[in-house]
Amino acid sequence: MKIKKLEAALINKIAAGEVVERPASVLKELLENSIDAGADSISIHIEEGGTRLIRVVDNGEGMVPEDMNSAFTRYATSKIKSLEDLDAIHTLGFRGEALPSIASVSRIGIFSKTPSSESGNYIEMAGGNIIDQHERGGPSGTNISVKELFFNVPGRKKFLKSSRSEYLEILDHFYSFALMYPEIRFRFFNEGVEKWSFPPSSLAERLALLFKDITGKDLLEIRHEGEQGMSLTGVVSKPRIFRKNKKRLYVSMNGRMLRDPKLIYYLTSAYEPYMMKGTFPVGIINLTVPASHVDVNVHPRKTEVRFLAAALVRDLIFYGVSSVLKDEVEVFTPESTVSFSSTSPGSVQSSLDFSGSLSEITDQTPAHIPHQRLELFGVPVSFIGRIKDTYLIFKGQDELYLMDQHAADERVLFEKIRKEMKRSVKLSQELLIPFELDRVLADHHIKFLRNAGFDISEDGDRITAVPPWLALRFPLDGIGTLLESLEEENFSFMDWVKDLACKSAVKGGDDLSFELISEILKDLGLCENPYQCPHGRPTLIKFSSKDLEKMFKRT
């Protein structure tokens, strides 16, 4: 088979397959060009999901006639002059294929004028060929219309989704740019009707304007400095605000929106101690990374990048988000437990159900116990009983507390294990008779358990000492089963800590001694996040006198 050199028009159509996947990708390229041109006001017009029309109008610096012609030539760009520039890219649209690729599969009309020019220049193209070009007057900036996308590539057009689906994808891209650049004024029109109008604002204000079920008081601002010139800014929701999916989570890097699941995972991991599994926060974080530390030219649409120090980026996101969450934990109230568990705030009415028989409130508690004073977060309380041997009841001066004994103990043990792993000298309680395991533990499991305060034989088949907290809660003859169940799971390191705490903690229905209740209460008050178990469930719920009055219709 003879090798032939392809014609320029065919080359552009092939390149369009990489860059122009659907109408939304066209909008992305045009918006990046407007932002690179310094625009602070951008209007977007969409018809039939972008298949009939995508128009972007900006007030950027514009182009002179000769630059306009060059812009539609493949591999022409104002952003790169040498090979070294590829290692220091600070702009969004740099590849050179976007405009000629878009023009090759659509009908384009573009007008552009620089502020210093008396008139602008207009070019009309169809399928990559210029059919009209002339000077005319108009405002400074660029006005580009992409019409009849894929009119000359029916094989591509038939794979487009419905107009509605394409429109929703366009909206997703628009939301991304609106959040990445809150300082820019955006207007968005669909079928001639203005749908969005965003004035310049702060990021928190822009997020609240975009998602109207969120207010400024629901958001936390992030400003975190990392290593090697990296930093993190953004806004994220408080843990009580959540969704069942990740669609309202955005990550950008140096002004470039990324769609990298790993970066989203680093963000959501910071929320794990505060939110239920399967729920996700809302927000946008912006990474600032030195250009020499990132390769942005690894994906045709530039939605993925490669980091030189990926571990530093991971820590930057995780600890940056964690730093603003740790001060937001608070005791749950009847109202907060409703918003925490409901998919739509206000859709479920708060209630406290005591429909079970009164005999379920244990009568085994000695009468003198309520008079023994305890402290909960520095406030004197009295222990007055339990419900279903699971929920501990404490009475304060003007409050009533219900504590889930398993969730509270799980939080206590989780933080004890984490602290133990940081200690150079481990605290262990030696067993009189070493416990024989039915199976040999893997090396990485042995290392993990030794760090947590266990002493295990070199062969990994015997336990000779256990952490003091485990001996108080767990029957020694069940330790082997506990460790073997952990060994069977394929957990990450932190999942092992959570699962060890969960399996070691007291369970609902366990009959606790007053000594253990007192210890759990004391240790809970020393926790970094005493209000939730490691999986995000509440450890206790507080009923103030006002809550009770409201529930009994006294207010």
Instruction: Decide: 55 and 145 in contact? Cβ < 8 Å.
Output: yes
Q: Tell me the helix, strand and coil percentages in the chain, rounded to 5.
A: 35, 25, 40
- 2 lies in a domain? no
Number of domains, the chain: 3
Mean pLDDT, residues 219-243 taken together: 92
154 and 215 co-located in one domain:
no
353 and 467 co-located in one domain:
yes
| Listed range (31-35, 352-356, 477-481) with the worst mean pLDDT | 352-356
Q: What is the CATH number of the domain that holds 467?
A: 3.30.1540.20
On average, the pLDDT of the chain sits at: 81
Mean pLDDT, residues 89-113 taken together: 77
354 and 237 co-located in one domain:
no
pLDDT at 46 > cutoff 80: yes
Instruction: Decide: 17 and 10 in contact? Cβ < 8 Å.
Output: no
- 481 lies in a domain? yes
pLDDT value, residue 398: 85
Q: What is the CATH number of the domain that holds 111?
A: 3.30.565.10
Mean pLDDT, residues 497-513 taken together: 85
pLDDT value, residue 396: 87
Mark which of 198, 217, 236 sits at the end of a domain.
198
Element spanning 384, H or E:
strand 379-387
- 133 lies in a domain? yes
pLDDT in tens, 179-218: 999 999 999 999 999 999 999 999 999 999 999 889 989 9
- 159 lies in a domain? yes
- 102 lies in a domain? yes
Mean pLDDT, residues 250-259 taken together: 89
Selected residue with higher pLDDT from 341 and 372: 372
d(CA 552, CA 494): 43
226 and 180 co-located in one domain:
no
- 418 lies in a domain? yes
Q: What is the CATH number of the domain that holds 231?
A: 3.30.230.10
Mean pLDDT, residues 428-442 taken together: 76
Q: What amino acid occupies position 168? A: L
pLDDT at 346 > cutoff 50: no
pLDDT value, residue 474: 65
Selected residue with higher pLDDT from 362 and 453: 453
pLDDT at 104 > cutoff 70: yes
Q: Which residue has the tokens 């020694």?
A: 476
pLDDT value, residue 330: 66
Mark which of 198, 232, 262 sits at the end of a domain.
198
420 and 503 co-located in one domain:
yes
pLDDT in tens, 275-319: 877 889 999 999 999 988 887 655 555 566 778 788 888 889 998
Q: Which residue has the tokens 């702009």?
A: 91
Tokens of 53: 């029309």
Mark which of 198, 215, 250 sits at the end of a domain.
198
230 and 320 co-located in one domain:
yes
Residue-range definition of the domain harbouring residue 103:
8-198
- 1 lies in a domain? no
d(CA 470, CA 505): 8
d(CA 533, CA 414): 8
pLDDT interval class at 337 (50, 70, 90):
low
d(CA 177, CA 179): 5
pLDDT value, residue 170: 96
d(CA 464, CA 433): 7
d(CA 252, CA 255): 6
pLDDT at 95 > cutoff 50: no
Selected residue with higher pLDDT from 33 and 476: 33
174 and 116 co-located in one domain:
yes
300 and 449 co-located in one domain:
no
420 and 505 co-located in one domain:
yes
381 and 418 co-located in one domain:
yes
Beta bridge partners of 147: 53, 107
- 3 lies in a domain? no
Element spanning 518, H or E:
helix 514-524
pLDDT value, residue 230: 93
pLDDT at 13 > cutoff 70: no
pTM, rounded to two decimals = 0.65
pLDDT value, residue 47: 98
184 and 259 co-located in one domain:
no
Q: What amino acid occupies position 525? A: G
277 and 342 co-located in one domain:
no
